[in-house]
């Protein structure tokens, strides 16, 4: 008897792999390397527009 899973990791990984394959389908190998490197470094998140509020500041240590 199989247990009902609340989260299916294999299904999620297959979906992510399929989506990444579709995004990279028309890219050259060099473009793929750059795309992955940027995603891993967080550059993609930095390029997105941010709210107009200033970034939070760290508490000062006096």
pLDDT of 50 > 50? The answer is: no
Flag whether 2 is in a domain.
no
Q: What percent of the chain has pLDDT over 90?
A: 47
Domain presence at residue 17: yes
Instruction: Tell me if 25 is assigned to some domain.
Output: yes
Residue with more model confidence, 2 or 50? 2
Is residue 55, in this structure, part of any structural domain at all?
Answer: no
Is the pLDDT confidence value at 10 over 90? yes
Tell me whether residue 27 is in a domain: yes
Give the integer Cα–Cα distance in Å for 28 and 6: 38
Asked if the structure places residue 52 within a domain, the reply is no
Kindly give the residue spans of alpha helices, DSSP state H, lying in 1-62: 9-24, 29-41, 43-47
Range of the domain at 13: 9-42
- Residue 51, pLDDT > 70, answer no
**What is the total count of domains within the chain?**
1
- Indicate yes or no: pTM above 0.85: no
Helix (H, G, I), strand (E, B) or coil at 35: helix
Say how far apart CA 29 and CA 37 lie, in whole Å.
12
Give tens-digit pLDDT for 21-31: 999 999 999 99
């Amino acid at each position: 008897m199989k247990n009902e899973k609340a989260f299916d990791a294999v299904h999620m990984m297959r979906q992510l792999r399929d989506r990444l394959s579709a995004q990279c389908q028309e890219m050259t190998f060099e473009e793929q390397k750059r795309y992955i490197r940027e995603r891993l470094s967080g550059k993609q998140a930095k390029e997105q527009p941010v709210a107009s509020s200033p970034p939070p500041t760290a508490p000062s240590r006096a």
